[in-house]
């Protein structure tokens, strides 16, 4: 029985292991913020031995729990649940003498300004950028072409806005500065930093790496897409993404430079890149399991369980179950609906295609209010499909997208 300390209750880890019938192999001990746990959907499992409420957002209160637990429990691994848990998980793992991402990595991968500074020093292609502390600074940064203004210490596209014209700056500044989320942050005030960057036009990909002892042991490229508009809400992903061998080699080279400069030890890295004329430009990089069903896409495409392998790596297992070549193509696409009151969802029977549809989920029902998609939390559901070719994959996705209709008043 392995004892896992998880900072932040990330239920997909546990659900995934339950689906694999591994209830007798792991016990989870979870630390979660009181406000966050209250706002989360109820979840229980025999794998969860105990959940203790303690602060870890800009607080080290959680370390009292870690120290008390460590006197009676021998932990085998520490894993972060979400973006906001990375620094706390790293510090807990350091105290327990267990594998971790490393102090420098924990800092730069949770602060986009620090990441930009590091990448500028080592020559990673990226946009012009500047930390923003006032509206006047944002106005001075804008020099006539589109820019992006966003928080430097949030996730899930919260507060990320594209500014095309100088007339948009004031409203964009106010919207970003007052952006918030409902679930994964505590109710107390958390101080955030903000950053402006030049907008780069091009295809977007993400890269998922497992890093063991500072070496990449798994590398995947995911092709990404976004809904149209001034916000940056992702509309779908394809694994593996179809890019040239030259682009793949460049990204891997840049990723290795970042791993070395950030002194990464062990963990999973999820980075996003814009391809401009075959040159990858870094968007951002996180040191936690990717969201948006990308873990499921990797698992289905490569034929090994991505989350379980990450846990095995943090448990210091030497025989990792990794397939380096994909066996099929898998994609997720997120449903779209205009803002308004949902009246009806039509033609859901098309999702019963067991040959191609892996799974699907819709989080709204008739009578619910649908908001404009400003961040990932505003989305209303998804479907995941598999195929043997990119042409077939797109045909299936387009067919479902056109058929399933969200009728909104």
Give the mean model confidence (pLDDT) for residues 227-240. Answer: 91
Give the mean model confidence (pLDDT) for residues 299-307. Answer: 96
Whole-prediction pTM: 0.94
For the residues of 267-324, what is the DSSP string, one character each? EEEEEEEEEETTEEEEEEEESS---TTHHHHHHHHHSS-HHHHHHHHHTT-SS-----
Q: Are strands 147-151 and 26-32 parallel, antiparallel or unpaired?
A: unpaired
Give the mean model confidence (pLDDT) for residues 373-387. Answer: 93
pLDDT bin (cut points 50, 70, 90) of residue 19 is: confident
Alpha carbons within 13 angstroms on the beta-carbon side of residue 226 total 22
pLDDT bin (cut points 50, 70, 90) of residue 318 is: confident
What does the pLDDT read at residue 373?
A: 92
Give the mean model confidence (pLDDT) for residues 107-120. Answer: 98
Q: Is 377 exposed, middle or buried (0-12, 13-18, 19+ CB in 10 A)?
A: middle
pLDDT bin (cut points 50, 70, 90) of residue 125 is: very high
Give the mean model confidence (pLDDT) for residues 297-309. Answer: 96
What does the pLDDT read at residue 213?
A: 97
Architecture, CATH, for domain 332-409? 2-Layer Sandwich (3.30)
Q: Answer whether 2-98 and 201-327 agree in fold.
A: no
What does the pLDDT read at residue 379?
A: 94
Q: Which of 134-138, 301-305, 315-319 has the lowest mean pLDDT?
A: 315-319
Alpha carbons within 13 angstroms on the beta-carbon side of residue 219 total 12
Instruction: Inform me whether the pLDDT recorded for 156 exceeds 90.
Output: no
Span 192-224, pLDDT tens digits: 999 999 999 999 999 999 999 999 999 999 999
Span 43-101, pLDDT tens digits: 999 999 999 999 999 999 999 999 999 999 999 999 999 999 999 999 999 999 999 99
What does the pLDDT read at residue 186?
A: 87
Assigned token pair, 396: 């299936």
Domain boundaries, the chain: 2-98, 128-198, 201-327, 332-409
pLDDT bin (cut points 50, 70, 90) of residue 112 is: very high
| Residue 13 vs residue 214, higher pLDDT | 214
pLDDT bin (cut points 50, 70, 90) of residue 190 is: confident
What does the pLDDT read at residue 139?
A: 97
Task: Report how far residue 151's alpha carbon sits from residue 140's, in angstroms, rounded to the nearest whole number.
Answer: 18
Task: Report how far residue 294's alpha carbon sits from residue 296's, in angstroms, rounded to the nearest whole number.
Answer: 5
Tell me which residue of 296, 57, 58, 64 sits closest to 183, measured CA to CA: 57
Instruction: Inform me whether the pLDDT recorded for 128 exceeds 90.
Output: yes
User: Which residues lie across from 26 on neighbouring strands?
Assistant: 2
> Span 2-98: which CATH code?
3.40.50.20
End-to-end CA distance of the chain: 53
Instruction: Inform me whether the pLDDT recorded for 23 exceeds 80.
Output: no
Distance of CA 115 to the CA centre of its chain: 16
- Does the domain at 201-327 match CATH 3.90.1280.10? Answer given as no
| Residue 195 vs residue 157, higher pLDDT | 195
Task: Report how far residue 268's alpha carbon sits from residue 100's, in angstroms, rounded to the nearest whole number.
Answer: 10
Give the mean model confidence (pLDDT) for residues 401-409. Answer: 96
The rounded percent of the chain whose pLDDT value lies above 90 is 87
Whether omega before 304 lies within 30 degrees of 0, making that bond cis, reads no
Instruction: Inform me whether the pLDDT recorded for 337 exceeds 90.
Output: yes
Longest dimension (CA), the chain: 61
What does the pLDDT read at residue 22?
A: 79
Q: Which of 75-84, 168-177, 228-237, 283-292 has the lowest mean pLDDT?
A: 228-237
What does the pLDDT read at residue 52?
A: 97
Task: Report how far residue 207's alpha carbon sits from residue 142's, in angstroms, rounded to the nearest whole number.
Answer: 30
Task: Report how far residue 8's alpha carbon sits from residue 102's, in angstroms, rounded to the nearest whole number.
Answer: 18
Tell me which residue of 282, 253, 286, 284 sits closest to 126, measured CA to CA: 282
Q: What is the mean pLDDT of the chain?
A: 95
What does the pLDDT read at residue 287?
A: 97
> Span 128-198: which CATH code?
3.30.1490.20
């Amino acid at each position: 029985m392995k004892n896992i300390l998880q900072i932040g209750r990330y239920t997909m880890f546990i659900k995934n292991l339950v689906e694999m019938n591994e209830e007798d192999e792991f016990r989870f001990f979870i630390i979660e913020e009181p406000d966050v746990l209250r706002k989360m959907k109820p979840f229980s499992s025999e794998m969860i031995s105990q959940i203790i409420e303690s602060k870890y957002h800009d607080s080290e209160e959680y370390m009292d729990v870690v120290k008390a637990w460590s006197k009676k429990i021998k932990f085998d691994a520490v894993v972060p649940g979400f973006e906001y848990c990375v620094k706390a998980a790293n510090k807990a793992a350091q105290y327990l003498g267990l594998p971790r991402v490393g102090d420098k990595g924990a800092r730069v991968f949770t602060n986009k300004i620090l990441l930009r500074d590091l990448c500028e020093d080592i020559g990673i292609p990226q946009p012009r950028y500047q930390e923003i502390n006032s509206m006047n600074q944002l106005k001075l940064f804008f020099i006539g072409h589109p820019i992006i203004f966003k928080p430097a210490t949030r996730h899930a596209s919260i507060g990320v806005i594209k500014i095309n014209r100088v007339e948009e700056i004031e409203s964009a500044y106010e919207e970003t500065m007052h952006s918030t989320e409902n679930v994964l942050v505590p109710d107390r005030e958390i101080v955030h930093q903000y950053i402006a960057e030049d907008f780069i036009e091009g295809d977007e990909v993400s890269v998922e790496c497992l890093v063991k002892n500072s070496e990449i042991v798994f590398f995947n490229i995911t092709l990404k897409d976004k809904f149209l508009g001034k916000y940056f809400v992702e509309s779908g992903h394809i694994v593996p993404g179809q890019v040239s061998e030259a682009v793949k080699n460049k990204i891997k080279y840049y990723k290795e430079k970042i791993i070395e400069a950030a002194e990464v030890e062990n963990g999973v890295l999820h980075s996003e890149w814009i391809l401009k004329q075959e040159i990858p430009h870094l968007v951002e990089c996180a040191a936690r399991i990717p969201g948006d069903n990308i873990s499921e896409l990797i698992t289905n495409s490569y034929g090994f369980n991505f989350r379980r392998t990450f846990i095995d790596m943090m448990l210091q297992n030497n025989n990792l179950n990794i397939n380096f070549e994909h066996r099929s193509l898998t994609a997720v696409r997120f449903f779209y609906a205009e803002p308004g009151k949902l009246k009806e969802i039509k033609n859901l029977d098309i999702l019963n295609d067991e040959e191609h549809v892996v799974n699907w989920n819709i989080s709204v029902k008739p009578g619910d209010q649908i908001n404009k998609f400003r961040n990932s939390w505003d989305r209303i559901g998804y479907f995941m499909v598999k195929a043997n070719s990119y042409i077939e994959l797109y045909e299936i996705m387009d067919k479902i997208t056109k058929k399933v209709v969200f009728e909104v008043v």
